[in-house]
Amino acid sequence: MSTWWRTAVAGLRKTTEAARSYHTIQAIPREITGNRVSVKDRAQGRIPAVVFAQPNPSADGDGGGGPVRSVSRKHLLTTERKQIQSILKSIELPYFCSTTFPLQIRAGSGSSALLESGNVLPIKVHRDTETGKLLNLVFVWADEGTTLKVDVPVVFKGEDVCPGLKKGGMLNKIRASLKYKCPSEHIPQKIEVDISNLDIGDRVFMRDVKVHPSLELLSKNDLVPVCKIVAAKLDSTE
């Protein structure tokens, strides 16, 4: 493993572990569904949620490739709105949906009886289009040994020293995220693309992006560019 990757993994692991320890999502079961029930839950300061087992992309039908979840691992839940809002203040979208969290399912509000626990990955956050109010959440179980499909946000670094930008060029951000098949223990919260050495006309392709060796890019063409430094548009008279 290269020095670059050891340093990156250490930093990512420290950040992820801190997020996990601080943000253990608390939830309670809900047995009744429907719009009226959901409205009542939200009025009581709770957010309807569901957590299920995503089919394991690495499973080959013989029990390999991580644990196979039973139907009992699918749960209809409600979570505390204040807690989810607090998490979203420190881990903003879209990074929230590329971060795993511990989940504890209690027997009821304020109960110490633990029914189920494990790591989960948020995959959908539904909001009211007008007010932005949280409506419901969808999670997938992300216990160690499972492999998940994750849409990982792309961030760009090195803009302050990029030769092409210093010459007056512009950064064309072609892809905002990249989709990978990831072991749950190596899901990156974000992918950093270094543009510090790019000149005008240079590109960074999907295959050039550095990620953990266990990640598999879910694209048929890894020559699709992630970004490009383009020349500033000339005046129409020129």
Model pLDDT for residues 158-208, shown as the tens digit of each residue: 999 999 999 999 999 999 999 999 999 999 999 999 999 999 999 999 999
- The predicted model scores a pTM of 0.81
**Residue 32 belongs to a domain:** yes
Same-domain pairing of 102 and 39: yes
**Residue 238 belongs to a domain:** no
The rounded distance, in Å, linking the Cα atoms of 51 and 76 is: 7
Same-domain pairing of 159 and 139: no
**Residue 163 belongs to a domain:** yes
Q: How many domains does the chain have?
A: 2
Same-domain pairing of 86 and 175: no
* Mean pLDDT computed over 73-77: 87
Phi, psi of 227 (to 5 degrees): -155, 165
Final residue of a structural domain among 84, 119, 145: 145
The rounded distance, in Å, linking the Cα atoms of 41 and 189 is: 30
Same-domain pairing of 60 and 132: yes
**Parallel, antiparallel, or unpaired for β 134-141 and 101-106?**
unpaired
**pLDDT over 70 for what percent of the chain?**
81
**Residue 237 belongs to a domain:** no
The pLDDT of residue 23: 85
Same-domain pairing of 8 and 54: yes
pLDDT tens profile 51-74: 998 765 444 444 444 445 444 578
The pLDDT of residue 236: 44
The pLDDT of residue 221: 95
**Parallel, antiparallel, or unpaired for β 225-230 and 170-173?**
antiparallel
- Among residues 32, 23, 29, which one has the least CA distance to residue 83? 23
Q: Domain range for residue 23?
A: 3-145
**Residue 17 belongs to a domain:** yes
Q: Reduced to 3 states, what is the DSSP secondary structure of residue 106?
A: strand
C-alpha 10: how far from its chain's center? 19
Tokens 């009886």 locate to 113
Could you tell me the two tokens for 23? 């943000």
Q: Does residue 107 contact residue 115 with C-beta atoms inside 8 Å?
A: yes
- Give ∠ CA 151-153-157 in degrees, rounded to 5: 150
Inform me whether the pLDDT recorded for 237 exceeds 50: no
* Mean pLDDT computed over 7-33: 66
Q: Pick the most confident of 16-20, 21-25, 95-99.
A: 95-99
Final residue of a structural domain among 115, 145, 175: 145
Same-domain pairing of 132 and 100: yes
What average pLDDT is seen over the chain? 85
Final residue of a structural domain among 104, 124, 145: 145
Can you give the CATH number for the domain in which 181 is found? 2.170.120.20
Could you tell me the two tokens for 187? 């899901």
